[in-house]
Amino acid sequence: MNEQGTIPFRKRALAGAQARAEEARTDPALSAGDHPPFLSLRLLATGKAEADTLMTAAMLDEQLRQPAGYSFKMSGIRCRRFSSAAESQSQLAARALGDAVRNAGVDPASIDLLIAACGVQEQALPSTACAIAAHAGLPAGTPAFDVNASCLGFVVALKMAASLLASGSYRRIAVVSADQASHGLDWSHPESSLIFGDGAAAALVERGQGRQGIRSFGYQTYTEGRRLCEIRGGGTGKTLADGAQGADFLFSMNGKQVLKLALQKMPGFMSELLAAAGITLDSIDVVVPHQASHLGMAHMIRKMGLDRCRIVDIYPTHGNQVAASIPTALHEALSSGLLGPGRRALLIGTAAGVSLGGLVLDL
Amino acid sequence: MNEQGTIPFRKRALAGAQARAEEARTDPALSAGDHPPFLSLRLLATGKAEADTLMTAAMLDEQLRQPAGYSFKMSGIRCRRFSSAAESQSQLAARALGDAVRNAGVDPASIDLLIAACGVQEQALPSTACAIAAHAGLPAGTPAFDVNASCLGFVVALKMAASLLASGSYRRIAVVSADQASHGLDWSHPESSLIFGDGAAAALVERGQGRQGIRSFGYQTYTEGRRLCEIRGGGTGKTLADGAQGADFLFSMNGKQVLKLALQKMPGFMSELLAAAGITLDSIDVVVPHQASHLGMAHMIRKMGLDRCRIVDIYPTHGNQVAASIPTALHEALSSGLLGPGRRALLIGTAAGVSLGGLVLDL
């Protein structure tokens, strides 16, 4: 239930195709090694799982004992989903993986490797991927591990997967992102608690055919911002034995400072990413951004001069789903026909860390 | 301070070289594509950081109010190190990285990418790599993320790094593993609490020259064992709000069942790994195993018919350092001259999950 259905997509797709034809004419060196390596990749299918409980803005207003309209005004979210106690993060992830497997029409046993790319783990040890593999019923022995790059986990894992496929190590890789921010929200802090939703999405990938693949990838970490978005507990840093309190296990955020840092770094980052791909923004059919927050997305769109019509915006109906945001948005874009074979997507976003990351994907 | 100093290394190295010459004569197809892809990789340097506090078996006996000899008898560890409250996991990791950088004689700014491969994170969000990058003083923008494969994190991250280097995405990658098991020990359970030590180790890697690289890599996950070694808290699974207790944040292990599963799967896994490399065990100069426990290592050595003289055993002086075990043992083998250019190492072990993993590395 996203808002892309109303967008005159054909026209835009044509614009992207025209820009690409133009670029091919004017830059004959594109595939001649002047740019960082093209990484072959084919999105076989994507899948999505919605958390089991719908939470509208009105329901949240009531729960928080706030006047009608409060939650929507503060967050820009009409409805989002939360998982009930009956649904674990790995179960949610396994459902998304199951959806991708069904959409691809393949045998789950054909999956060579499972990479889980969640923002927060299900437990400190072992990896979330192990639990997902168990719930998804992958055959015994199927390798499973985690990549953790906060909200950019899916983007980083896609790059990892493409590299592994390129080296011939695996033939079909599943990348799954699931997050249940609802477990770590500090409801006394509207700015950081109202913007999230739970969810999961998955992708099955293989080596691409022809020009299918990652044209460029970028990822940068600015550790000056590592305290701006965090959950201090959950590992060796702040433990119960050392006096950690309940609040140490909740998400804390200085939204203003994060946004300032992100807006400062993003233009340069985006320019480099596009230059590395040998393209301009015009040739991107669809931008699939991390669904950080309504304010964050609005600022970023304005600052970058992005065309709103080309941006997948599922935020009003999903909220910020942490690492699951980008693959869920990608799945919506594919399901709705916004994206498809021959089209070009830009996956891009920011993450706790603070990191910036993105990739240009030719489908 | 490991025990390899007394091993007649030259003789063994020669044996390995002879076996390799033999294999080259008898198997001309080795580099002709019959086997999974060889992945070029060069270990530029390794480094290590010892946790700041020495804890001998005698000191532990006293602390636990047990008779002299108890801790050593139960664990097989003479001494191990724990971090004091003054030393965070990421600080420990940064010291190991600093050591590797010094040993390589390179500028830290030449590091293109930092992969942290710890068994347990420092905090739930963001990745441990962000904190390590900050403490290590890597330049702003240096990409940093985590790979989590429990005790096999380093092995998996090395494979990731080699794939990324092969695809030309990065030129010099740092892989760092640091763990502070001391924060999560259940002292009421001797089997799971006495076998650990804190520590960190790092490796700087680049594309290899000639035959330097990963000859084969294997990683398998058997999720039937995912509850046998775990810390249930720390993520979305068991939270304080949902009634998690202190014990949920401590390491729990069913050592007997883990060992049973590992011993059952390891022979087949090892055979496949060696076959994929096109070699026999004879041509391995040095086995660098995960330092799981004295009993685990002894059983594995017997079951696999390994030559004790070729195995790096730092367990009596380090304990099980979780993901830091394999890189620390690798560093010791390189520092002591056991391993060096032209030699062949087998990195191998088991991990919570339960996973088995390993790689054959030609140095």
Chain B residue with minimal CA distance to A116? B148
Nearest to A124 among B140, B226, B233 (CB): B233
> CB contacts < 8 Å between A and B, how many?
271
pLDDT at residue B32 is higher than 50: no
ipTM of the complex: 0.92
A7: which DSSP letter? S
B5, pLDDT greater than 70: no
Q: Which residues of A touch B150 (CB under 8 A)?
A: 125-127
Find where tokens 């190590």 sit: A169
pLDDT digits (tens, 9 = 90+) for B93-118: 999 999 999 999 999 999 999 999 99
Distance from CA of B354 to the nearest CA of A (A): 8
Contact A145 B355 (CB under 8 A): yes
Residues in chain A: 363
- Asked whether the predicted pLDDT for residue B34 surpasses 50, the reply is no
Phi, psi (deg, nearest 5) at residue A119? -75, -40
For residue range B150-171, list pLDDT tens digits in order: 999 999 999 999 999 999 999 9
- Tell me if residue B320 is catalytic: yes
Of A150-154, A235-239, B307-311, B356-360, which gets the smallest average pLDDT?
B307-311
Do residue B220 and residue A143 have CB atoms under 8 angstroms apart? Answer: yes
Q: Which of B159, B164, B236 sits opposite A120 (nearest CB)?
A: B236
Q: Which of B290, B294, B318, B331 is catalytic?
A: B290
Tens digit of each residue's pLDDT (9 = 90 or more) over B170-189: 999 999 999 999 999 999 99
CB contact under 8 A, A229 and B125: yes
> Which pLDDT score, from 0 to 100, does residue B2 have?
37
pLDDT greater at residue B222 or residue A28: B222
Cβ within 8 Å, pair B39-A141: no
pLDDT tier at B48, thresholds 50, 70, 90: very high
Give tens-digit pLDDT for A190-225: 888 999 999 999 999 999 988 999 999 999 999 999
Whether residue A125 and residue B39 make contact (CB cut-off 8 A), yes or no, is no
Indicate which residues of A carry an active-site annotation. Answer: 151, 290, 320
* Chain A residue numbers touching B168 (CB-CB < 8 A): 36-37
pLDDT, tens digit, 9 for 90 and up, residues B282-291: 999 999 999 9
Q: Which residue of A has its CA nearest to B262?
A: A141
Contact residues on chain A for B217, CB-CB shorter than 8 A: 169
* Nearby residues of B214 by Cβ (< 8 Å), 6 or more positions away: B38, B39, B41, B158, B159, B162, B359, B360, B361
- Rounded Cα distance, A5 and B272, in Å: 50
Q: Are B261 and B354 in contact (CB under 8 A)?
A: yes
Q: Is the pLDDT of residue A298 over 80?
A: yes
Q: Is residue A269 a contact partner of residue A5, using CB atoms and an 8 Å limit? A: no
- Measured between beta carbons, the chain B residues lying within 8 angstroms of A143 are 219-221, 355
Is residue B18's pLDDT more than 80?
A: no
- pLDDT score, position A307: 85
**Which residues of chain B make contact with A85, given a CB cutoff of 8 A?**
242
> Which among B36, B122, B125 is the nearest to A150, CB-wise?
B125
pLDDT averaged over chain A? 90
Across the interface, whether the CB atoms of A246 and B230 are under 8 A apart is answered no
pTM of the model: 0.92
Contact B145 A156 (CB under 8 A): yes
Q: Is the pLDDT of residue B10 over 70?
A: no
Mean pLDDT of B312-341: 97
Q: Is the pLDDT of residue A309 over 90?
A: no
> Distance, in angstroms, between A40 CA and closest chain B CA?
10
Spatial contact of A143 and A134, defined as CB atoms under 8 Å apart: no
Q: What digits encode the pLDDT tens for the residues A326-360?
A: 999 999 999 999 999 999 999 999 999 999 999 99
Residue B149 and residue B219 in contact, taking contact as beta carbons nearer than 8 Å: yes
Q: Report the gap between the CA of A83 and the closest CA in chain B (Å).
A: 11
Q: How far is A210 from chain B (nearest CA, A)?
A: 17
Say whether pLDDT at B30 is over 70: no
Query: Could you write out the three-class secondary structure of chain B?
Result: CCCHHHCCHHHHHHHHHHHHHHHHHHCCCCCCCCCCCCEECEEEEEEEEECCEEEEHHHHHHHCCCCCCHHHHHHCCCEEEECCCCCCHHHHHHHHHHHHHHHHCCCHHHCCEEEECCCCCCCCECCHHHHHHHHHCCCCECCEEEEEECECHHHHHHHHHHHHHHCCCCCCEEEEEEECHHHHCCCCCHHHHCCECCEEEEEEEECCCCCCEEEEEEEEECHHHCCCEEECECCCCECHHHCCCHHHHCCEECHHHHHHHHHHHHHHHHHHHHHHHCCCHHHCCEEEECCCCHHHHHHHHHHHCCCHHHECCCHHHHCECHHHHHHHHHHHHHHCCCCCCCCEEEEEEEECCCEEEEEEEEC
Nearest to A353 among B126, B226, B246 (CB): B126
What is the structure's pLDDT at A12? Answer: 41
pLDDT of A3 > 50? The answer is: no
Substitution target in B84, B145, B216, B269 with the highest count of A β-carbons within 10 Å is B145
Nearest C-alpha of chain A: how many angstroms from B292?
Answer: 15
In chain A, what residues touch B125 (CB-CB under 8 Å)? 119-120, 150, 229-231, 234, 251, 352
| Nearest CA distance, B232 vs chain A (angstrom) | 5
Residue spans of beta strands (DSSP E) within chain A = 39-40, 42-50, 53-56, 79-82, 113-116, 144-148, 173-179, 199-206, 213-221, 229-230, 252-253, 286-289, 344-351, 355-362
